[in-house]
Amino acid sequence: MLQIPIARIRLHAILRRLGVVWLLALMALGAPPILAQEVTFFRIGTGSTGGTYFPIGGLIANAISNPPGSRPCDRGGSCGPPGLIAVAQSTQGSVANVVAILGGQLESGLVQADIAYWAYRGEQVFRRNGRKVENLRAIANLYPETIHLVVRANTGIKSVADLRGKRVSLGEKESGTRVDAEIILRAYGLNTRRIEARYLNPGPAADALRLGQLDAFFLVAGAPAAAIAELATTIEITLVPIAGKRIEKLIKRYPFFSQGRIAGGAYRGIGETRTLSVGAQWVVSSKVSADIVYGITKALWHANTRRLLDRGHPKGKAIRIENALRGIGIPLHPGAERYYRESGRIKDTPAPVKQDKPGPNKGSE
């Protein structure tokens, strides 16, 4: 975490040099051009700009930022720790965020529940690196994500099994989408050798589908995802259901997954679609101070933030404190735990989610 004493320096110049994407949102908080007190920068890893993590991360960064001179909390301003400037950074997604937290390039990030669990225990994709990410801690479970499998409406692809031999984007290489897509493929007897695998973020994947250069792409995101919504306005697309007996077996093996639905009308011309769901969680490095994490957790659940989330994104409405501890499979950060104890949400530290150790990944690369 960066702590910078600032005097006679324009805040917007510093933010511009750091590549902060939510500059305008922070300026709206009322920060004056000249500052003379310490500022702490707090980075939040999100995902690609065509997904849901990026806009949600931006809303959270706005909500918890409290730069010098900003409007006080009791007057409708930010309720975050004094001097904190949170920045939402676009990344490849869940896996990249975990790796960056481990390496100290990020203080926190938005991560799928299954990725957080496997990272902490050094399993699945993290087994290949031979290391556990034991400094990973949870702040909150945010909202349910759904697994999208997007195809053109006239391709004849009706099931995951129909992807054999097709050109399929599994998401970026360090994304949670890739991990989950490969798990789903294996459930249908497929792997990356039995499809033409591509590794694109949602924007380029949608462009490739529109241009006929791709047959399908996976995306794990809260609906509506911007890249898919935009694509649906240019060509006729459909979502392939991810449901049935094979998926029921998958859920039994991986309890982070649950049967979910993408509501009809979330994307133009597409009715309700059954699919898998997994929680989106906000995680943080254990090295971040308890006072800072307590302050940002308190700010996340303040009434001022509630209004911001409700207006800022359709998935913002799903971020509710009653779900904050649901499905968390890694330890809470002591600062977050302190807040949940004070607010009466927990009396004891939640135990990690129990899960049978997965067997070997048959048929995977």
Give the DSSP per-residue string, 11-58.
Answer: HHHHHHHHT-TTHHHHHTTT--SB--SEEEEEEEE---TTSSHHHHHH
pLDDT digit string, tens, across residues 240-261: 999 999 999 999 998 789 999 9
Does 304 reside within a domain?
yes
Instruction: Categorize the per-residue pLDDT at 1 as very low, low, confident or very high, splitting at 50, 70 and 90.
Output: low
Q: Are 8 and 138 found together in one domain?
A: yes
What tokens were used for 320?
A: 């509710």
Identify the H or E element spanning 63. helix 53-64
Residue 144 has pLDDT above 60, yes or no: yes
Does 363 reside within a domain?
no
Q: What CATH number does the domain containing 71 carry? A: 3.40.190.10
Instruction: Categorize the per-residue pLDDT at 361 as very low, low, confident or very high, splitting at 50, 70 and 90.
Output: very low
Residue 11 has pLDDT above 50, yes or no: no
Supply the pLDDT for residue 256: 84
Non-local CB neighbours of 248 within 8 Å, separated by 6+ positions: 259
Q: Are 57 and 159 found together in one domain?
A: no
CA nearest 88: which of 58, 56, 48? 58
pLDDT digit string, tens, across residues 50-85: 889 999 999 999 999 999 989 999 888 889 999 999
Supply the pLDDT for residue 93: 94
Supply the pLDDT for residue 268: 96
Does 192 reside within a domain?
yes
Instruction: Categorize the per-residue pLDDT at 168 as very low, low, confident or very high, splitting at 50, 70 and 90.
Output: very high
Does 171 reside within a domain?
yes
Question: Looking at 191-272, which runs of residues are DSSP E strands?
Answer: 196-198, 216-221, 237-239, 258-262
Q: Domain ends where: 251, 278, 305?
A: 278
Q: Are 303 and 208 found together in one domain?
A: no
What tokens were used for 341?
A: 């104890």
Distance CA 205, CA 217 (A): 7
Residue for token digits 């306005």?
A: 233
Supply the pLDDT for residue 14: 43
| DSSP single-letter state for residue 211 | T
Domains held by the chain: number: 2
Instruction: Categorize the per-residue pLDDT at 362 as very low, low, confident or very high, splitting at 50, 70 and 90.
Output: very low
Does 17 reside within a domain?
yes
Does 155 reside within a domain?
yes
Does 353 reside within a domain?
no
Does 80 reside within a domain?
yes
Please provide residue 260's backbone torsions phi and psi, each rounded to the nearest 5 degrees: -130, 180
User: Please, what sign has the CA dihedral across residues 125, 88, 220, 172?
Assistant: negative
Going from the C-alpha of 306 to that of each of 142, 311, 329, 335, the distances in angstroms are 13, 9, 25, 20
pLDDT digit string, tens, across residues 181-233: 999 999 999 999 999 999 999 999 999 999 999 999 999 999 999 999 999 99
What does R_g of the chain's alpha carbons equal in angstroms? 21
Going from the C-alpha of 188 to that of each of 162, 362, 363, the distances in angstroms are 10, 11, 11
Mean pLDDT score of the chain, rounded to an integer?
Answer: 87
Model confidence, pTM: 0.80
Q: Are 120 and 149 found together in one domain?
A: no
Show contacts of 337-345: CB within 8 Å, 24+ apart.
338/290, 338/294, 339/294, 339/297, 339/298, 339/301, 340/297, 343/301, 345/321
Q: Are 205 and 245 found together in one domain?
A: yes
> Whole domain around residue 247: which residue ranges?
145-278
Q: What residues form DSSP beta bridges with 198?
A: 169
Q: Are 109 and 51 found together in one domain?
A: yes
Q: Are 12 and 138 found together in one domain?
A: yes
Q: Are 121 and 68 found together in one domain?
A: yes
Q: Domain ends where: 263, 278, 293?
A: 278
Supply the pLDDT for residue 17: 41
Q: Are 246 and 135 found together in one domain?
A: no
Contact 4, 37 (CB under 8 A): no
End-to-end CA, the chain = 36
